[in-house]
Structure 1
Amino acid sequence: MYWGPPPRSSLLLALLASNPLLADDLFLDSQPLPQVLTATRLKQSAAAVPGSMTVIDSELIKASGARDIAELLRLVPGMMVGYTTGNQAAVNYHGTSASEARRMQVLIDGRSVYRAGLATVDWSDIPVAMEDIERIEVFRGPNTVSYGANALMAVVNILTRSPANSLGTRMKITRGERGTNDWYASQGLGWDTGNLRLSFSGQQDDGFDSDRFGADYRDGRRLSRFSLAVSQTLNQQQSVDWQLSAKEGTNQRPYTYKPVFDGITDSGTDSDVSAKDYAASLRWNFDFNPEHSLYIQGSAQQWDRRQVWKACDAKVSFSPELTRLWQLNPNYAERLARHMQRYENGTPPSGSAAEQALAQQVLQQWNNGGKESVCGNIDQSTKESRYDLEVQDTLSLSDSLRLVSGMNYRYDRADSETYFNGTLDDTTWRLFGHLEWRASEHWLLQGGAMYEHTHLSGNSLTPRVAVNYLINPRHGLRAVYSEAIRSPDMFENNVNWSYRVTQLSSPVYGQTSGQYFVKTRGPGNLDKELMRSRELGYNGFFADFGLNLDVKLFYDEITGMISEPLRNNQYIASNSNRSRFIGTETQLDWHLSTADRLRVTYAYVDASASNPLDQQQTARNSGSAGWLREWGHGWSSALFYYGNDALNQYRFERVDLRIAKRIPVGKANLELAGMLQQRLDHQPTTWPDNNYDQRHVLYFSAELEF
């Protein structure tokens, strides 16, 4: 494997190691250290973190012009951002399957938005407006120790603006090509003991233009959001934060059903999804003293997806005998169903006596009117609910010893007649702790563990140990070993998948509704996926130069992987797969002057997997480069490049240019901005059906603050 020439940082590290006095003279200054929270739940400088962190701050968020969180994550080294079915983003750290992104924890202010029922994150439907985000902290690596199962490969923590920093009125509209039509409005209020932010927002676009055949690709989306955040101080030691949010919208879905039986004329309808999400959280903060704090947080969430569509197939699709044959041998039943005309005047396919006896009955039904087409409604709706309660205690035991510990209880419920034949629920208990010991001026030792008990998946214990050598407080070397697990989700392990078709166009076996013959059951005994991760790295902040640099070498292995696609047609899940990821990542953030900022990321990932599907969304080379510039007199610009050599075998390269002008209007400020995105490649986006007629898109925004 070729690693390329050693980076300049390697030469710098060698110099520092040989002359620590030079390091002290070069780096020490009185400026405050930037801190992050997501890595261990403790506030730490980047040099002290037991792993790799990327922070996308508010300046980057605005300068990028990104309309989606998924697009923002292109700024994270090693993050693979693709699209599956039209507007459905698939985001993975380092990769795995391009169609199923289920190995990364995603949080909004510490509240998980990972849907445990259907094993997914709805990136296009996350109920938070871009304008309400203060920063996004990404822990690049396994972090089950701090956030439990599903934090297998990375953690994305979306931190919203505090109400205290949101005072005044803010309005924004965005219009442009591809049906881009976004809006935002917020009002912030303050009083003696608290602050409030109320915001409304909407988003709309037409998605991709055409599929692989050049036909119109129906994947537009429309959504509206509401958010209310309140922060209230009770006394010098206590405060309360609470939030409410809601989202409703429609995601278009093209009609993709293909009749199983030959000769059927299909006149089905599109399967659009009507989505409604609700969330509420309440957090009580208690600061006993500067060395000891506690919080209790409770939250409730609901994801409601309404999806009803019409499809057509042969009457024999609802045959009880064909259903029994499928349950006896799915391969035999599918072979018979797809070649009925071949067998209708002869003997059925060879098989066991029981299989052939059932097949003979199905053939008789086929010849006695079973080949006639019948249409009906399919309800593929789902509703998922979550209730979460967490207690966390942060304690400084001494000047050199800090401990964070806590407990979490979570209840998940999924309702779907299609996927679960009713209702399925799960409960999760977690105990976690992380100890940080500053053994000397330069050595920092850290260890943590998470114990988790899940009703459907059993027990697990995951550890992490790290050693940080702090050249000084701004520069550190790290060595980290951690383990992480991912529990099989309800859908993977406990699916009870079948379609009941209602309002049939003509009665079938005396009924106006029927159960489709394909029925899929989860194995029910899947084990957890296990990841073992080794990391060596360096993080340095050269304050005098405004330069932040992070370099990471990693070797990650996942065993017991559940890699089979989640399909109704012969879904056979197992823990028989494994993957390995070896590589390096670099990120550089350089404030060259008060006017210029340069940001560069690069990731080299060498992936191998026992199942080829787990290499689909791994680009060997990927990265980004950005230049932000303040020109004076209210003018600013931002130029970004994003690229990877292959996601699902398709190259991606794009340049984004944003130009903005700030104009004082009395006591208000108006910003006018134009955004141009230009694709440099001529390939589909991740999948062959994701195509644009034009390789560029242009949109404009106007934002008023007062």
Structure 2
Amino acid sequence: MASFFLISCLKKLPYLQKTNPLKWGMLLCALPYTQLAYAETNNDESIFLDDVPVVLSASRLVQPINEAPVAVAVLDRETIRDSGAWDLSEVFRLVPGMFVAYHADPNFYSADSTVAYHGMVTSTTSDRMQVLIDGRSVYSGLFGGVNWSDLPIVLDDIERIEVVRGPDSASYGANSFLAVISIITRHPAETQGAYASISYGTNRMESVFRYGGKSGNLTYQLTASERKDSGEADIIHNPASPDVFWTLNKYDNKNIRIFNVRAAYQASANDALEFQLGYNGGPRQAGEYDNFISINRTSDNHFEMINWRHALDGNGELAVKAFHTEEHIHGRLLDSDGISNGDASFKRDDLEIQHTFSSSPTARVVWGASVRQDVTYAPYYLGVENNQYLYGNFYYRLGRIFSNLEWHIRPDLLFNAGAMLENNSYTGTEFTPRLALNWHITPDHTIRIGYSRATRAPSVYEKVYEQYWRSPNEYPNLPELKTEKAKATDIGYIGRVGKIDLDFRLFYDDYTNLIDVKNHNSPKSGNLNAGNALMRGYELQMKAPLSDKTHLVYGLSGGGVKSDNVNGVIYTDSLPAYNHNLMITHQFNEQWRGSLVAYQISRTKFNDTDFNLAQGRGYYIEGNKRFDGKLSRHFIMYGRPTEVAFIMQNIANAHYFELRHDNEAPGRLVRINVKTEF
């Protein structure tokens, strides 16, 4: 009966996209009447939590996924391995609602991937999503977003990735505007001994070495890797225009060297101390044909983090975390004006205190505070298109107080209330609350209804542009730049029908004060926060065992956006009408394992700057589909566990555009990977 109801819901999706959240709620609330197994007199909460995956990131509390106040997608080690992904960014193609493009960067700061949730892409760094590694924010202060190739992390060191699908400023503050990606690495106790991995294939090669050891109460691991990636083909196979500019891909070769250390010391029965440091560096290319060529350009990034945890009575915990991050770009940019200083640097210092405790047998609370300072230096990129050069350091300061209450009103009814009070030196003080109610209709079926508010603070680049537009020679009466704001309504269903796990979500998000500083029409609207957008849609994730040895994971998302499209910034068509992902894995026997992954996305409109019908470049980037495959064999070689894998990405050798008409994804890519432990 429950499965029949869900299918009926899916058939009604076109209608749902035209309705408001109250009507969605009326439809989903009918689900309880298909299942009447819950007994009012049953006070045992554990019956609702058997075999339910646990998430760590949604509210800063460890919770079963069906008790989280927001939708969460979990990518575990096995999923990451079976995906055959080369870049970390590629893994997110398996998350419903996530858009991933190989790379397109017209500002020449980096040649990197674009990872965006629900579209809303106006810059290639995708600056409306927070990304954390072991709780450390890697959201860049200069342009916002994340430079994925500059992160000091390798796929082999990742334990799991949790993606909060929706705004989560109540837990992680400004810039957790559309979603939050939380990457959790492996603990040193799980990586003892030596490990090596070598990959070689089409325009790509990588070597990884890791060693884990122990001395008394100290466990540690060291990871070193080097990667060479030639990126896209130099020539676009199917150009949208015969103009030579549109027939050549960007400069994007990368040489990435990574070194990581992670150590954990159990000081006492109640005290644990963790230390991490990491480095990412090497030469990189960036730039476009007949415009910019980056020469003598290198990346040099590192971080240090320390985390102390003290266990308290009643399953409580006090934690103190501090980290320092530095990102450096060294380069000389050659353009029509000659050679420019392409150096840029970004430094972040952050201190956070967090306290978790049980206020009663049915309630838990997490609360804390943090302070942060960012320092950015980028004379060329902050020069506002050569109109003026602003040398020196730019400071950004941030203070936060946060809290989340989890209250079991009844064993089958859970209430979450969270909020963040935040003050930054650019836009002042913001308050972002969240409320959610989770109802376990039966042990196998849960309904979640939530409402939250979120913000995105301006990047340094946007703040400097504001100063330029409000200068005496331009538009001195422009209102001051404000944070972007979101009001998000979320209705979800998490359940199990037979052996099939289902996660279905409807969302209705209202965005206001959207920032537009780069478009030269911006000041003409009289406000740099002129954009608004209304987004509604659906997401479905299904996990099903087709047999004891064969498993399927399927994701579907879609929806629509209404926007005023102020200043020509197009949001109306920025959410794909549909986006599919499918992964099938099969364990042939103890030695052989295979996987097949398929992706499909509808036509999408992200960037208006390359729209030109006269030159053959249409309004939309046409939809595309892609197939990846992996076949691996496990065996013992000289007493050592060994795996040899053959991986093929883009099996059909499709040549399609992603994000822009001058950004053609690589064709078929083949590589062999050998891993061994010793």
Q: Report the TM-score range of the alignment, normalised by the length of the smaller protein.
A: 0.7 to 0.9
Instruction: Give the direction of change, closer, same or farther, for the CA distance of 1:157–1:141 in structure 2 (3 Å limit).
Output: same
The answer for the alignment partner of 1:312 in structure 2 is 336
1:124 maps to which residue? 149
Q: Residue 563 of structure 1 is aligned with which of 513, 516, 523? A: 516
Does 2:632 correspond to 1:660? yes
Partner of 2:490: 535
Indicate which of 536, 548, 551 corresponds to 1:582: 536
In the alignment, is the contact (CA less than 8 A) between 2:160 and 2:185 conserved in 1? yes
Q: Normalising by structure 2, what TM-score? A: 0.84
Deviations 1:162-201 (A, max 9, x none): 1111111110111111x11111110011233131110001
Aligned partners of 1:169 and 1:188 also within 8 Å: yes
Q: Which moved more, 1:437-446 or 1:28-37?
A: 28-37
CA deviation string 1:187-216 (max 9, x = no partner): 011233131110001222111112444346
Is the 1:643–1:653 Cα contact (8 Å) retained in structure 2?
Answer: yes
How many residue pairs get aligned? The number is 608
* Residues 298 and 330 in structure 2, CA contact (< 8 A), matched pair in contact too: yes
* Conserved 8 A contact 2:516-2:522: no
Compared CA separation, residues 19 and 3, structure 1 to 2 (3 A): closer
Q: Is the 8 A contact 1:107 1:157 kept in 2?
A: yes
In the alignment, the residues of structure 2 paired with residue 11 and residue 196 of structure 1 have an alpha-carbon distance, to the nearest angstrom, of: 52
Q: Which residue of 1 aligns with 2:267?
A: 234
**Closer, same or farther in 2 for the Cα pair 1:36/1:30, shift >3 Å?**
closer
**1:20 counterpart SS class:** coil
CA distance in 1: counterparts of 2:228 and 2:171, whole angstroms:
36
Q: Deviations over 1:504-556 (max 9, x none)?
A: xxxxxxxxxxxxxx9999979201111000111111246x72x3210001100
Q: 1:81 is matched with which residue?
A: 100
| Matches of 1:566 and 1:88, distance apart in 2 | 22
Q: Pairwise CA RMSD of aligned residues?
A: 3.0
**Mapped contact 1:309–1:379 kept (Cα < 8 A):** yes
Instruction: Give the 3 Å change call, closer, same or farther, for CA 310–570 of structure 1 in structure 2.
Output: farther
Give distance in 2, aligned partners of 1:13 and 1:696: 46
Residue 184 of structure 1, aligned match among 208, 231, 239: 208
| Distance in 2 between residues matched to 1:434 and 1:391, nearest whole Å | 14
Q: What is the SS of the residue equivalent to 1:245?
A: strand
Greater CA radius of gyration, 1 or 2? 1
The answer as to 2:89 corresponding to 1:63 is no
Q: Deviations over 1:80-127 (max 9, x none)?
A: 112323942121110112534100000000000001222231012221
* SS of equivalent to 1:647: coil
Q: Which amino acid aligns with 2:223?
A: S
Indicate the residue corresponding to 2:18 in structure 1: none
The answer (yes or no) to whether the contact 2:432–2:455 under 8 Å persists in 1 is: yes
Structure 1 residue aligned with 2:563, among 599, 603, 609? 609
**1:170–1:705 CA contact under 8 A, matched in 2:** yes
**Aligned partner of 1:481 among 433, 447, 451:** 451
Q: Is the 8 A contact 1:57 1:136 kept in 2?
A: yes
1:94-493 alignment, distance < 5 Å: 94-100=118-124, 101-177=126-202, 179-209=203-233, 210-211=235-236, 212=239, 213=244, 214-215=247-248, 217-256=250-289, 258=291, 269-271=293-295, 273-313=297-337, 376-418=338-380, 419=382, 420-493=390-463
Using the alignment, how far apart are the partners of 2:31 and 2:119 within structure 1?
35
Structure-1 separation of matches of 2:402 and 2:362:
21
Structure 1 stretch displaced more, 57-66 or 439-448: 439-448
Paired residue for 1:510? Answer: none
| Letter paired with 2:419 | A
Q: CA deviation at 1:488?
A: 1.2
Identical columns (%):
27
- Deviation, structure 1 residue 31: 4.6
Secondary structure in 2 matching 1:408:
strand
Residue 270 (structure 1) shift: 3.7
The separation in 2 between residues aligned to 1:281 and 1:416, in whole angstroms, is: 25
Name the structure 1 match of 2:69: 50
Q: Which amino acid aligns with 1:604?
A: G
Give the residue type in structure 1 aligned to 2:539.
E
TM-score, length basis structure 1: 0.81
User: Which residue pairs with 2:506 in the alignment?
Assistant: 553
Equivalent residue for 1:525?
480
1:39 counterpart = 2:58: yes
Cα distance 1:614–1:14, how it changes in 2: closer, same or farther (>3 A)? closer
Q: How does 1:664-683 map to 2 (within 5 A)?
A: 664-678=636-650, 681-683=654-656
Distance in 2, matches of 1:191 and 1:631, equals 40
Superposed CA offset, 1:452-494 (max 9, x none)? 0001210000111111111245531011010001111221022
Q: 1:599 to 1:99 in 2, by over 3 A?
A: same
Alpha-carbon spacing, 1:48–1:378, altered in 2? closer, same or farther (3 Å): same
CA distance in 1 between counterparts of 2:351 and 2:200 reads: 41
Gaps of 5+ in 2: 1-7, 14-25, 383-389, 606-620
Report the alpha carbon displacement of residue 579 of structure 1 after superposing the two structures with TM: 1.1
User: In structure 2, what is the Cα distance between the partners aligned to 1:29 and 1:404?
Assistant: 23
- 3-state SS of 1:307 partner: strand
Q: How far does residue 291 in structure 1 lie from its aligned partner after superposition?
A: 2.6
Question: Secondary structure in 1 aligned to 2:81?
Answer: helix
Cα pair distance change 1:409/1:473, threshold 3 Å:
farther
Q: 1:66 to 1:18 in 2, by over 3 A?
A: closer
- The alpha-carbon deviation at position 12 of structure 1 amounts to 11
Q: Secondary structure at the match of 1:73?
A: helix
- Give distance in 2, aligned partners of 1:228 and 1:663: 29
Distance 1:11 1:610 in 2: 30
Which secondary structure does the structure 1 equivalent of 2:571 belong to? Answer: helix
Residues 443, 31 of structure 1: CA spacing in aligned structure 2 closer, same or farther, 3 A cutoff?
closer
Separation of aligned partners in 2, 1:161 and 1:660: 23
Find the counterpart in structure 1 of residue 385 from structure 2.
Answer: none
Contact 1:520 1:568 in 2 (8 A): no
Tell me if 1:703 matches 2:675. yes
Q: Which sections of structure 1, spanning at least 5 residues, go unmatched? A: 259-267, 314-375, 499-517
The answer to whether the Cα contact below 8 Å between 2:376 and 2:395 also exists between their aligned partners in 1 is yes
Distance 1:160 1:131 in 2: 9
How far, CA to CA, are the matches of 1:668 and 1:14 in structure 2? 55
* Of 597, 606, 626, the match for 2:551: 597
- C-alpha distance in structure 1 between counterparts of 2:439 and 2:466, whole Å: 51
Query: Relative to 1, partners in 2 of residues 1:13 and 1:170: Cα closer, same or farther, differing over 3 Å?
Result: farther
Report the CA distance shift for 1:702/1:108 in structure 2 as closer, same or farther (over 3 A).
same
Match of 2:584 in 1: 627
1:691 matches 2:664: yes
What is the identity, as a one-letter code, of the residue corresponding to 2:83? S
CA distance in 1, matches of 2:249, 2:335: 20
- For residues 353 and 419 of structure 2, what CA distance do their matches in structure 1 show? 16
Counterparts of 2:52 and 2:30 in 1: how far apart (Å)?
Answer: 24
CA deviation map 1:295-351 (0-9, x unaligned): 0000000010112122334xxxxxxxxxxxxxxxxxxxxxxxxxxxxxxxxxxxxxx
